[in-house]
């Protein structure tokens, strides 16, 4: 059994924690609201943190602004060296931080460790990037002129993250933002403040050892109001937000109204097409992990299976059988496949979606329900369920953050692709097929409309090296790999004249 108290001690979590940190300094106004963190694993209160006030927020922003004037002048590879050490510190803390993620958020220990691994991986990626951040050079139309572009940091990057990936999503943003020369202010989900505090302690230690100026990475705890201070603040040129489409629309509107930049990674409604040419055993693993992993609380979770009519009955039988084998319980016990939902509000939303699905005519082939008994006393454990539906059901068009899987039958690939694309969201998608023509059609311009499209892999569990994000109501942002770093920088086009005259572009004559 995991000794949570000793993990909390090792990670620097107190019974009552401060409202903000600018690095080594922790502070906050006294006698304010608190955030209580309860574990969905057993319903126990773990610890609390104070909610930051607007006065606290102001202190954090001023410190961040001051830090930026220094950090932007540190050579990028030197910034990369700090991020490299942060990656090493994460390696040292992997088992403790992974366990705390599992305990505070409720995902399986394997997935908690996997999340910390994503942090380590993005640090490695960012270290390499710190010697790149390439700009292009162009040929000037004028003699003895040089034209090129440079990428400069933006300033303060605000990071709003969700409970479901309480630490990795921050690190995707922070690792890139830092090597690019930005400073960060992180507002984590109010449902998972403790994992964020642990991360702040880990990075602050690395900063201290390297005498990095105070304010390069700050943490500010609170609810929606703290996020609003950031989204409305012209001193924060980029807000990167991960969460629901509803939250993303509010962030985009506030940031857009001041012509700031936002990077949005919002809801998904991800489907796997199971073709008549699929390897059904492989498809089963992809579909079941995608639907029940993290208890269906990934933005990439598989919500819909679009199954060819010729394999529909066989595959459904395999699914029902597999769901019968699932072990639901304490996520820190490695024998279990499925842990709890984040809280009882999420359980209520799950039950509500099941009701709505039934009301619209959905037929459950695996029934849902809330588990009760001693092992499930937090009230957050639910049964993964499966329903046969029509794609146009209102509830099927909606992202419910819970392990509810919808089955839809198809005849032709064109129809399957139209169904896959026929939702407001556009994050992740997959096809299971051994047929090259089908696979390529699915990946073509007339195929999946999502930011992520996989062949013979499920919808969840993307590697950090690719650009991560999606289209439509998913928000259009790209985080993590490829050239996602460009969102954290401003491009400057430079033209230098080293001739003895001043020729004008476009051949314009202007003689004095
Ligand atoms: C999220 O759910 O917000 O692709 C992120 C995946 C993970 C990240 C999910 N690497 O499932």
Q: Which two tokens stand for residue 417?
A: 């692709």
Q: What is the pLDDT of residue 31?
A: 76
Atom of ligand 1 nearest to the CA of 428: 4
Atom of ligand 1 nearest to the CA of 464: 10
Region for residue 328 given its phi and psi (left: phi exceeds 0; alpha: psi -120 to 50; beta: otherwise): beta
Inform me whether the pLDDT recorded for 336 exceeds 80. Answer: yes
Query: For 498-506, what is the mean pLDDT?
Result: 96
Helices 109-129, 76-105: axis angle to 10 degrees equals 170
CB-ligand 1 contact for 169 (6 Å cutoff): yes
Q: Which two tokens stand for residue 478?
A: 């790209």
Helix residue spans in 106-183 (DSSP H)? 109-129, 168-179
Distance 106 CA to ligand 1 centre (A): 15
Distance 299 CA to ligand 1 centre (A): 6
CB-ligand 1 contact for 461 (6 Å cutoff): yes
Measuring CA to CA, which residue among 232, 226, 278 is closest to residue 56?
226
> Which carries the bigger pLDDT value, residue 233 or residue 1?
233
163, 294 contact by CB (below 8 A): no
CB-ligand 1 contact for 242 (6 Å cutoff): yes
Residue 382 DSSP one-character state:
B
Query: For 357-374, what is the mean pLDDT?
Result: 98
pTM of the model: 0.97
ipTM of the complex: 0.98
Per-residue pLDDT band for 277 (boundaries 50, 70, 90) equals very high
CB-ligand 1 contact for 165 (6 Å cutoff): yes
Query: For 235-239, what is the mean pLDDT?
Result: 98
Q: Which two tokens stand for residue 73?
A: 């002048």
Inform me whether the pLDDT recorded for 210 exceeds 80. Answer: yes
Q: What is the pLDDT of residue 2?
A: 75
Distance 276 CA to ligand 1 centre (A): 28
Q: What is the pLDDT of residue 356?
A: 98
What backbone phi and psi angles, to 5 degrees, belong to 363?
-115, 115
170, 177 contact by CB (below 8 A): no
Measuring CA to CA, which residue among 101, 435, 492 is closest to residue 276?
435
CA-to-CA distance for 124 and 215, rounded, in angstroms? 23
Q: What is the pLDDT of residue 35?
A: 94
Inform me whether the pLDDT recorded for 345 exceeds 70. Answer: yes
Inform me whether the pLDDT recorded for 268 exceeds 70. Answer: yes
CB-ligand 1 contact for 298 (6 Å cutoff): yes
Q: Based on the number of CB atoms within 10 Å of its own CB, is 217 exposed (0-12), middle (13-18) or buried (19 or more)? A: buried
Distance 301 CA to ligand 1 centre (A): 8
Mapping DSSP to helix (H, G, I), strand (E, B) and coil, where does residue 146 land?
strand
Per-residue pLDDT band for 1 (boundaries 50, 70, 90) equals low
Inform me whether the pLDDT recorded for 55 exceeds 80. Answer: yes
Q: What is the pLDDT of residues 294-333, one digit of tens each?
A: 999 999 999 999 999 999 999 999 999 999 999 999 999 9
Per-residue pLDDT band for 18 (boundaries 50, 70, 90) equals very high
CB-ligand 1 contact for 130 (6 Å cutoff): no
Inform me whether the pLDDT recorded for 485 exceeds 80. Answer: yes
**Ligand 1, pocket-test mutation among 110, 118, 125, 165, most atoms within 8 A of CB:** 165
Q: SS in 3 state form for 242-281?
A: ECCHHHHHHHHHHHHHCCCEEEEECCCCEEEEECCCCCHH
Q: SS in 3 state form for 425-492?
A: EECEEEEECCCHHHHHHHHCCCCCCCCEEEECCCCCCCCCCCEECCEECCCCCCEECCCHHHHHEEEE
CB-ligand 1 contact for 171 (6 Å cutoff): no
Per-residue pLDDT band for 219 (boundaries 50, 70, 90) equals very high
Which positions are annotated as active-site residues?
265
Atom of ligand 1 nearest to the CA of 468: 4
Q: What is the pLDDT of residue 32?
A: 79
380, 399 contact by CB (below 8 A): no
Half-sphere exposure (CA, 13 Å, Cβ side) for 61? Answer: 19
CB-ligand 1 contact for 430 (6 Å cutoff): no
Q: Which two tokens stand for residue 241?
A: 């937000």
Distance 506 CA to ligand 1 centre (A): 48
Measuring CA to CA, which residue among 413, 410, 473, 427 is closest to residue 303?
427
Q: What is the pLDDT of residues 136-194, one digit of tens each?
A: 999 999 999 999 999 999 999 999 999 999 999 999 999 999 999 999 999 999 999 99
Query: For 282-304, what is the mean pLDDT?
Result: 98
Q: Quick one: how far is CA 70 from the chain centroid?
A: 29
How many separate helices (H) and strands (E) can be counted in the chain? Answer: 13, 24
Distance 377 CA to ligand 1 centre (A): 28
Q: What is the pLDDT of residues 399-416, one digit of tens each?
A: 999 999 999 999 999 999
Per-residue pLDDT band for 365 (boundaries 50, 70, 90) equals very high
Q: What is the pLDDT of residue 407?
A: 98
Q: Based on the number of CB atoms within 10 Å of its own CB, is 357 exposed (0-12), middle (13-18) or buried (19 or more)? A: buried
Closest C-alpha residue for ligand 1 atom 7: 461
Closest C-alpha residue for ligand 1 atom 3: 299
DSSP string, 82-106: HHHHHHHHHHHHHHHHHHHHHHHH-
Mean pLDDT value across the chain: 97
What residues have CB less than 8 Å from 171, skipping those under 6 apart?
A: 90, 118, 119, 122, 123, 199
Q: What is the pLDDT of residues 86-144, one digit of tens each?
A: 999 999 999 999 999 999 999 999 999 999 999 999 999 999 999 999 999 999 999 99
CB-ligand 1 contact for 87 (6 Å cutoff): no
Mapping DSSP to helix (H, G, I), strand (E, B) and coil, where does residue 339 land?
coil
Distance 463 CA to ligand 1 centre (A): 9
Query: For 427-437, what is the mean pLDDT?
Result: 98
**Ligand 1, pocket-test mutation among 113, 300, 399, 401, most atoms within 8 A of CB:** 300
């Amino acid at each position: 059994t995991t000794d949570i108290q000793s993990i909390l001690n090792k990670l620097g979590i107190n019974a009552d924690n401060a409202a903000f940190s600018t690095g080594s300094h922790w502070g906050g106004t006294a006698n304010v609201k608190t955030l209580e963190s309860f574990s969905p694993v057993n319903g126990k209160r773990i610890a609390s943190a104070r909610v930051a006030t607007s006065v606290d927020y102001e202190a954090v922003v001023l410190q961040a602004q001051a830090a930026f004037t220094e950090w932007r002048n540190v050579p990028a590879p030197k910034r990369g060296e700090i991020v490299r050490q942060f990656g090493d510190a994460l390696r040292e803390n992997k088992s403790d931080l992974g366990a705390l993620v599992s305990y505070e958020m409720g995902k399986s220990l394997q997935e908690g460790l996997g999340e910390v691994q994503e942090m380590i991986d993005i640090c490695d990626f960012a270290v390499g990037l710190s010697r790149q951040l390439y700009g292009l050079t162009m040929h000037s139309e004028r003699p003895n002129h040089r034209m090129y572009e440079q990428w400069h940091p933006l300033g303060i990057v605000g990071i709003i993250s969700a409970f479901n990936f309480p630490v990795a999503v921050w690190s995707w943003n922070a690792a890139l933002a830092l090597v690019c020369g930005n400073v960060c202010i992180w507002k984590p989900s109010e449902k998972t403040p403790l994992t964020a505090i642990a991360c702040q302690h880990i990075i602050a230690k690395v900063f201290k050892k390297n005498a990095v100026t105070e304010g390069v990475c700050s943490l500010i705890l609170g609810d929606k109001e703290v996020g609003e201070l950031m989204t409305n603040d012209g001193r924060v040129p980029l807000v990167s937000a991960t969460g629901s489409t509803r939250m993303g629309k509010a962030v985009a509107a506030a940031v857009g109204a001041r012509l700031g930049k936002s990077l949005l990674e919002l809801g998904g409604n991800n489907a796997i097409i199971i073709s008549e040419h699929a390897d059904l055993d492989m498809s089963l693993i992809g579909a079941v992990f995608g639907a029940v992993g993290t208890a269906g609380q990934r933005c990439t979770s598989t919500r819909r299976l679009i199954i060819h009519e010729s394999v529909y009955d066989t595959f459904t039988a395999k699914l029902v059988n597999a769901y019968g084998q699932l072990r639901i319980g304490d996520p820190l016990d490695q024998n279990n496949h499925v842990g709890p939902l984040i809280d009882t509000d999420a359980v209520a939303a799950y039950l509500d979606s099941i009701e709505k699905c039934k009301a619209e005519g959905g037929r459950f082939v695996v029934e849902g329900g809330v588990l009760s008994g001693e092992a499930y006393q937090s009230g957050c454990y639910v049964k993964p369920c499966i329903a046969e539906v029509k794609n146009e059901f209102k509830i099927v068009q909606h992202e419910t953050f819970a392990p509810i899987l919808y089955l839809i039958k198809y005849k032709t690939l064109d129809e399957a692709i139209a169904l896959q694309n026929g939702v407001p969201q556009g994050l992740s998608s997959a096809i299971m097929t051994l047929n090259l023509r089908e696979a390529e059609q699915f990946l073509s311009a007339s195929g999946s409309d999502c930011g992520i499209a996989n062949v013979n892999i499920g919808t969840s569990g993307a590697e950090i090296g690719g650009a991560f994000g999606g289209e439509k109501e998913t928000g259009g942002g790209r985080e993590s790999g490829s050239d996602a770093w460009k969102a954290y920088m401003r491009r400057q086009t430079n033209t230098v004249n080293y001739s003895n005259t001043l020729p004008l572009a476009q051949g314009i004559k202007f003689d004095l």
